[in-house]
Amino acid sequence: MIDDDFVKSLLGSRGYLSFKHRDDCLTLSCPPKHLLEFCKFLRNEETFDLLTDLTAIDHGENASPRFSVVIHLYSLIHKSYLRIHVCCDDDNSPSVPSVSEIYPGANWHEREAYDMFGVKFSDHPNLKRILMWDDYPYFPLRKDFPLAGIEVPLPAADVAEVTGASVDPAPMMGGPFVSPGQGRMSEAEPSAKDESWTETFEKPL
């Protein structure tokens, strides 16, 4: 069980950790340079041997640190989750060490986080985009990426050469992560009143 004694012991034995909260599960901040050491300890000594999720956060263009990586681990012995929050040191070229050697399941998650947020994972065995094509110039889940999307030429010829299938770009209406629909974007989910070309009135203040 993750109780107060467990938290005190963990923080006391590893001075580089800091406590964030326990609102839903124990959440600790770990500097990037200690991430691998801490993950190996959690896996080998504290039975947190299951990585359930890994993603990134863009805290906004004016935030510093702007990007962070969040890792969720689960222990079958403690029957509890533990969250690791890792802030990226560089706001312009965010990067953290890959934990895929410790938790092989992180491989796909790290590729997705890189693809969507532009956070690089050093020493990842194959850090390639997993949803967008290799030369796509944007990171769609960053806060500065408009919900309505950005028109980018689709490399249809390259795809057709590899797959042997014709390729048509998806409609821009609604953005790349919203199902295309009829009517105004402000009436769809998620709404984008300030970035749609289908609105009759300006966004209310």
142-193 tens-digit pLDDT: 999 887 777 777 766 666 677 776 666 665 554 545 544 566 655 655 555 4
Q: Which amino acid is at 46?
A: E
Q: Which has the closest alpha carbon to 79: 50, 54, 108, 57? A: 50
Residue 89 CA from chain centroid, whole number: 16
Q: What are 126-151's pLDDT values in tens digits?
A: 999 999 888 889 999 999 988 777 77
Note whether 39 and 9 are same-domain residues: yes
CATH number at residue 82: 3.30.460.80
Number of independent structural domains in the chain: 2
Last residue of a domain, one of 110, 136, 162: 136
Last residue of a domain, one of 136, 163, 181: 136
Last residue of a domain, one of 104, 136, 168: 136
| Structural domain span for residue 155 | 146-205
Global confidence as pTM: 0.78
Note whether 20 and 114 are same-domain residues: yes
CB 35 within 8 A of CB 86: yes
Token reading at 31? 């500097």
Q: Does residue 61 fall inside a structural domain?
A: yes
CB 41 within 8 A of CB 47: no
